[in-house]
C-alpha cells in the first residue's frame, strides 16, 4: 500500500475498479453463497486499501464503491423483505489507536471537551449472521436476514424453530419492537454437524458461521429445525417506543423479555477500561462456546447515538475492534502441484503439522506462481501460517532469508503428463498445454461431468471415477454410458455388489436424455459455467445448434449477441468446438445421449429446486411420467431417500424408502396430493 501515494490518477481509477469488483465478489461468496474464498483479514485489507485510495482520490469514488453497499444482495429463493429501518454494518478498528481515534471522533462530532467522559457498552462480536425479529403486541410476526442492509430475506418460519427465540414476549412491550441480533452455531454443534456430514459423505461447512447461514436460509424450515441454531440479541430496529435511554438499559430490558443477551455485555467509561476489557475477551476467546472475531463498542447514551447518526453503511456511534488473525510458525516441507480440470497448476504447500487457533493445519494453498515469488518461499523454509477463524489457511511470511539457496522454480512442465506448462500473456495462472492427453485434466473433467451441478449421476462419485479411470474404462464422458457392458467386471471388484452396480447403471441410464444446459456445462468448456450454459441454450434451443453456431462463420458475432456471453466466453466456445479431439469427444457423447431441446419455462411450483423421490406403485401414471412432471416443475428426482430429499411421493406398497423418509422427518405425500401440486403449478 505504501506505493499508493505515487499512484497516477489513471492507476488509482483502475485499481478502484478492480477493488470494487473483487470486494463485490467476496461479498457475494460470503453473504449469498456462504462460501468464502479469502480470510476475513484479507478481506479487511482489501477494504482498507479501497478506503485509503478513496480518501486520496475522492473524485474517483465509484457509483459501485464497496462503501455504498452492505453485505450482498439476498439469495434468490426466499421472499424478500424491505427492512423498516436499514440493518447496518460496523466500521472496524484494528489497533488500540483506532479505538482512541473513534472516541476522539465521537467527542468532536458532539462538540464535547477532549477529556469528556464517553460511556461505551462492550460485547463480543459474534461470528454469525444478523437477523431482525419483529414483535407486534409481543408476538413474533416476522424475521428477516440482513441481505444488502435495505432488503433481506424472510426467514420467519425458520426462526420459529430456534429455541432461543421466544414466539411471545411478556412485560411492558411496545406495540412494535424489532429485536436485532446474531444467529449463530456453537463450535461443538458445528463439529457434530460436520462429523455427521462426513460420515454421510455430504458437503462439509467451512466454519460455524457458514453452517448457521446455510441452516437459516433454507426454503424448508424442517431443515432449519434439525440444525442447532442459537441467538444473541445486540440491538433493535423499528420500535414504537424505547424502554430506556441508554444502549445498556434497552438491551437489559430486551433480556428481561426473555431474549438471550451475551453475559459479557458490559458498560465501561474510560478508554483504558475499554482496552483492558478487549484484552480480557481476547484471552477468553478460545474457551468461548462460539466463534467471535472482535469486541463491539457502542456509545451508551441514545440521545448521542441519534445525533451521531450514520455514515454510508455504518453508525458513527459504534465500532468493531477486531482480533488479529491467528498465526503460528512451522516448516514448509514440500510444494506439490495439483493439475485442475482446465489444466491450471495450483501449488499446494505441505507443512509440518501445526496448531493455529485450535486447528491442526498441514496444507496451505500457495495460489499461483506470483504468490510463491512474492513470499520468496522454498521447501525447507520456516514460515508463518495464518488462519483467520475461517476458510483456507495461508502462509503470510517466510522467516528463512538465506540467500544461499535458489528461489523455488515453478515447473514449466506438467507434473502429470510432461506437456509444457505456460502462462498466457497477462495471466498469472500457469496451465498444462496437454489438454485431453493429460490424465489429470481428463480425470478432473470426468469428475466435473458427473458432478451435482452437471449431469449429477447418483452413485458415480469422484472415487469411482478415479477407480474406473485407473482401470482404463473411462477415457471420455461417452464411456460412462458404455459401462453397462462392463457389468460383470464391475461386480467382480471389491466394494461392488450386484445391487450397487445395478443402481449405478440404472442411475446412468436416467441420464440418456440429459438436460441440454447441464450437458453443455458438463463439457467443462473454459468460462462456461452453469448460468452461461443455460443462457446459450435459451438462445439457441439445442446443443447441436450451439455447436453449429460456435463452428460457423460469424461465430463470434452470433455468440456475443447472447445475453450473458462476452468475447472471452465466445472465444472459449469457438476454440473448444474447433479442437479436433473435442469434436471426437462430442460426437462420441452424442452417439450415447440424446439431449432434448431446451424448455425455456420451467413452471414455478412448491417443489421448484427441491429433490423429490417416488416410491411404491403409482396408479394414474408411470414412474417416468411422474419424474418428468417433477422435472418440468423445476424439481430434481432421485432414486433413493437421503438427508437431501425434500419430498417423498409414496404409493401403495411403499416400504423401506417410506420408513427412511419417516425417520428423517421428510415430508411424505400420496399420489393424489402430488397430482394437486402439478395442477397448482404456475
The reply on whether position 443 binds ligand IVH by CB under 6 A is no
| Cβ proximity to ligand IVH, 126 vs 259, nearer residue | 126
- Integer Cα distance of 152 and 132 in angstroms: 9
Of 50, 67, 121, 130, the residue at the interface with ligand IVH (CB under 6 A) is: 130
Nearer to ligand IVH, 126 or 593 (CB): 126
Pick 254 or 438: Cβ nearer ligand IVH: 254
How many whole angstroms separate alpha carbon 384 and alpha carbon 394?
8
- Nearer CB in complex with ligand IVH: 212/345: 212
How many Å apart are CA 18 and CA 549, to the nearest integer?
A: 33
The answer to the question of residue 93 lying near ligand IVH (CB under 6 A) is no
Could you tell me the smallest distance in angstroms from the CB atom of residue 187 to ligand IVH? 16
d(CA 130, CA 531): 29
Instruction: Please state the φ and ψ torsions of residue 648, each to the nearest 5 degrees.
Output: -115, 125
> Quick check: 320 binds ligand IVH (CB under 6 A)?
yes
> What are the grid coordinates assigned to 113, written together?
471537551
Q: Which residues contact 374 (CB under 8 A, 6 or more apart)?
A: none
What residues numbered 221-240 form the site for ligand IVH, per CB under 6 A?
A: 234-235
Contact indicator for 565, 528 with CB cutoff of 8 Å: no
Name every residue whose Cβ is closer than 8 Å to that of residue 187 and which is 6 or more positions away in sequence: 208, 289, 290, 291
Considering the complex, state which of residue 26 and residue 234 has its C-beta at the smaller distance from ligand IVH: 234
Q: How far is the CB of 181 from ligand IVH (least distance, A)?
A: 8
Check residue 125 for interaction with ligand IVH (CB under 6 A). yes
> Do 235 and 86 meet the contact criterion of CB atoms below 8 Å apart?
no
CB of 313 to ligand IVH, least distance (A): 9
d(CA 188, CA 197): 14
C-alpha cell at 491: 461386480
Residue least distant from ligand IVH (Cβ): 130
Torsion of CA 13, 15, 17, 23, to 10 degrees: -150
Is residue 153 close enough to count as binding ligand IVH by CB under 6 A? Answer: no
Q: How far is the CB of 141 from ligand IVH (least distance, A)?
A: 21
Number of residues that bind ligand IVH (CB under 6 A): 15
Report the distance separating Cα 396 and Cα 377, nearest Å: 10
| Strands annotated E in 110-172 | 120-126, 129-136, 139-145, 151-153
- Out of 25, 68, 80, 125, the active site residue is 125
Instruction: Enumerate residues 178-197 that contact ligand IVH by CB under 6 A.
Output: 182
Q: Which residues have C-beta within 8 Å of that of residue 104, sequence separation ≥ 6? A: 114
Calculate ∠ Cα 290-291-297, nearest 5°.
Answer: 105
**Shortest Cβ distance from residue 263 to ligand IVH (Å)?**
13
25 is an active site residue:
no
Positive or negative, the CA dihedral 10, 14, 20, 23 is negative
For residue 120, the cross-strand partners are 268, 299
- Minimum CB distance to ligand IVH, residue 92 (Å): 8
Beta-carbon contacts of 554 under 8 Å, excluding residues fewer than 6 positions away, are none
Tell me if 147 contacts ligand IVH by CB under 6 A.
no
- Does residue number 251 form part of the binding site for ligand IVH (CB under 6 A)? no
Q: Is 31 exposed, middle or buried (0-12, 13-18, 19+ CB in 10 A)?
A: buried
Contact 37, 391 (CB under 8 A): yes
**454 touches ligand IVH (CB under 6 A):** no
Specify the residue, 146 or 511, whose C-beta has the smaller distance to ligand IVH: 146
- At closest approach, how far in Å is the CB of 244 from ligand IVH? 17
Among 165, 281, 296, 460, binds ligand IVH (CB under 6 A): 296
Q: Does 83 bind ligand IVH (CB under 6 A)?
A: no
Please report, for residues 116, 222, 262, 482, 618, the alpha-carbon distance to residue 492 in angstroms, rounded to integers and kept in the order given: 82, 41, 59, 17, 35
| Residue number with CB closer to ligand IVH (232 or 432) | 232
Helix axis angle, 9-27 to 40-56, nearest 10°: 150
Stretch that binds ligand IVH, among 85-93, 213-221, 334-342, 525-533 (CB under 6 A): 85-93
**Least distance (Å) from ligand IVH to the CB of residue 103?**
17
Of the candidate residues 318, 385, 520, 638, the single one contacting ligand IVH (CB under 6 A) = 318
Check residue 126 for interaction with ligand IVH (CB under 6 A): yes
Given 50, 89, 156, 247, the residue binding ligand IVH (CB under 6 A): 89
In the complex with ligand IVH, the residue whose CB is nearer, 229 or 430, is: 229
Is there binding between residue 155 and ligand IVH (CB under 6 A)? no
Q: How far is the CB of 176 from ligand IVH (least distance, A)?
A: 18
Q: At its nearest, how many Å lie between ligand IVH and the CB of residue 277?
A: 13
Helix (H) or strand (E) holding 546: helix 543-551
In the list 123, 291, 381, 671, the residue contacting ligand IVH (rule: CB under 6 A) is 123
Given the complex with ligand IVH, which of 233 and 618 has the nearer CB atom?
Answer: 233
Work out whether 208 is an interface residue with ligand IVH (CB under 6 A): no
Q: Are 565 and 559 in contact (CB under 8 A)?
A: yes
Range 648-677, binding ligand IVH (CB under 6 A): none
Distance spanning both ends of the chain, measured CA to CA: 54
Q: Residue 137: count other Cβ atoms within 10 Å of its Cβ.
A: 12
Secondary structure (DSSP) of 76-88: TTSPEEE-SS---
Alpha-carbon span 625 to 205, nearest angstrom: 36
Q: Which of 90, 183, 421, 607 binds ligand IVH (CB under 6 A)?
A: 90
The reply to whether 281 sits near ligand IVH by the rule CB under 6 A is no
Q: Is 156 in the site for ligand IVH (CB under 6 A)?
A: no
Select the span of 83-91, 355-363, 409-417, 470-478 touching ligand IVH (CB under 6 A): 83-91
Choose between 95 and 399: whose C-beta lies nearer to ligand IVH. 95
Residues that bind ligand IVH (CB under 6 A): 88-90, 123, 125-126, 130, 146, 182, 234-235, 296, 315, 318, 320
Q: Known catalytic residues?
A: 125
Amino acid at each position: 500500500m505504501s506505493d499508493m501515494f505515487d499512484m497516477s490518477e489513471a492507476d488509482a481509477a483502475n485499481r478502484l475498479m478492480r477493488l470494487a469488483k473483487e470486494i463485490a465478489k467476496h461479498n457475494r461468496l460470503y453473504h449469498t453463497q456462504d462460501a468464502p474464498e479469502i480470510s476475513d483479514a484479507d478481506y479487511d485489507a482489501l477494504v482498507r486499501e479501497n478506503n485509503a485510495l478513496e480518501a486520496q482520490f475522492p473524485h474517483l469514488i465509484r457509483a459501485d464503491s464497496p462503501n455504498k453497499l452492505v453485505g450482498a444482495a439476498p439469495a434468490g429463493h426466499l421472499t424478500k423483505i424491505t427492512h423498516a429501518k436499514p440493518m447496518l454494518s460496523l466500521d472496524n478498528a484494528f489497533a488500540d489507536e483506532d479505538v482512541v481515534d473513534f472516541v476522539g471522533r465521537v467527542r468532536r462530532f458532539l462538540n464535547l471537551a477532549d477529556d469528556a467522559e464517553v460511556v461505551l457498552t462492550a460485547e463480543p462480536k459474534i461470528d454469525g449472521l444478523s437477523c431482525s425479529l419483529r414483535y407486534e403486541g409481543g408476538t413474533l410476526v416476522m424475521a428477516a436476514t440482513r441481505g444488502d442492509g435495505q432488503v433481506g430475506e424472510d426467514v420467519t418460519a425458520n426462526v420459529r424453530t430456534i429455541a432461543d427465540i421466544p414466539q411471545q414476549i411478556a412485560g411492558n412491550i411496545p406495540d412494535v419492537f424489532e429485536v436485532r441480533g446474531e444467529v449463530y452455531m456453537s463450535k461443538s454443534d458445528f463439529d457434530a454437524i460436520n462429523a455427521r456430514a462426513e460420515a454421510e459423505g455430504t458437503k462439509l461447512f467451512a466454519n460455524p458461521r457458514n453452517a448457521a447461514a446455510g441452516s437459516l436460509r433454507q426454503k424448508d424450515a424442517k431443515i432449519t429445525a434439525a440444525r442447532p441454531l442459537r441467538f444473541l440479541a445486540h440491538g433493535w430496529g423499528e420500535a414504537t417506543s424505547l424502554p430506556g435511554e441508554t444502549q445498556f438499559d434497552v438491551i437489559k430490558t430486551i433480556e428481561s423479555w426473555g431474549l438471550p443477551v451475551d453475559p459479557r455485555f458490559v458498560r465501561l467509561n474510560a478508554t483504558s477500561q475499554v482496552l483492558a476489557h478487549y484484552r480480557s475477551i481476547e484471552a477468553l476467546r478460545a474457551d468461548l462456546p462460539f466463534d467471535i472475531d472482535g469486541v463491539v463498542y457502542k456509545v451508551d447514551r441514545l440521545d448521542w447515538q441519534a445525533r451521531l447518526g450514520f455514515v454510508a453503511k455504518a453508525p458513527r456511534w459504534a465500532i468493531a475492534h477486531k482480533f488479529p488473525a491467528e498465526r503460528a510458525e512451522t516448516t514448509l516441507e514440500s510444494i506439490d502441484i495439483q493439475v485442475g480440470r482446465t489444466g491450471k497448476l495450483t501449488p499446494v504447500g505441505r507443512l509440518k503439522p501445526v496448531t493455529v487457533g485450535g486447528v491442526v493445519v498441514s496444507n496451505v494453498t500457495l495460489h499461483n506462481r506470483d504468490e510463491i515469488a512474492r513470499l520468496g518461499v522454498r521447501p525447507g523454509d520456516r514460515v508463518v501460517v495464518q488462519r483467520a477463524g475461517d476458510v483456507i489457511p495461508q502462509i503470510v511470511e517466510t522467516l528463512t532469508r538465506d540467500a544461499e539457496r535458489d528461489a523455488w522454480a515453478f515447473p514449466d512442465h506438467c507434473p502429470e503428463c510432461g506437456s509444457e506448462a505456460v502462462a498466457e500473456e497477462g495471466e498469472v495462472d500457469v496451465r498444462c498445454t496437454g489438454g485431453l492427453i493429460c490424465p489429470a485434466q481428463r480425470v478432473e473433467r470426468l469428475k466435473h461431468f458427473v458432478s451435482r451441478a452437471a449431469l449429477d449421476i447418483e452413485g458415480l462419485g469422484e472415487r469411482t471415477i478415479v477407480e474406473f479411470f485407473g482401470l482404463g474404462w473411462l477415457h471420455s464422458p461417452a464411456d460412462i454410458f458404455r459401462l453397462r457392458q462392463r457389468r460383470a467386471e464391475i461386480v467382480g471388484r471389491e466394494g461392488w455388489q450386484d445391487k450397487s452396480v445395478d443402481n449405478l447403471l440404472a442411475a446412468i441410464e436416467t441420464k440418456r436424455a440429459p438436460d441440454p444446459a447441464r450437458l453443455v456445462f458438463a463439457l467443462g468448456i473454459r468460462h462456461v459455467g452453469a448460468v452461461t450454459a443455460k443462457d446459450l441454450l435459451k438462445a439457441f434451443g439445442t446443443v447441436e445448434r450451439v455447436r453449429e453456431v460456435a463452428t460457423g462463420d460469424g461465430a463470434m458475432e452470433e455468440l456475443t449477441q447472447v445475453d450473458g456471453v462476452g468475447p472471452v466466453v465466445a472465444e472459449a466456445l469457438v476454440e473448444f468446438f474447433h479442437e479436433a479431439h473435442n469434436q471426437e469427444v462430442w460426437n462420441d457423447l452424442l452417439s450415447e445421449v440424446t439431449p432434448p431441446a431446451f424448455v425455456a419455462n420451467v413452471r414455478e411450483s412448491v417443489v421448484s429446486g427441491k429433490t423429490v423421490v417416488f416410491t411404491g406403485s403409482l396408479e394414474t401414471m408411470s414412474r417416468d411420467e411422474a419424474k418428468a412432471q417433477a422435472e418440468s416443475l423445476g424439481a430434481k428426482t432421485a432414486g433413493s431417500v437421503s438427508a437431501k430429499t425434500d419430498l417423498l411421493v409414496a404409493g401403495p406398497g411403499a416400504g423401506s424408502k417410506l420408513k427412511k423418509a419417516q425417520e428423517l422427518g421428510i415430508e411424505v405425500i400420496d399420489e393424489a396430493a402430488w397430482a394437486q401440486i402439478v395442477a397448482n403449478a404456475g
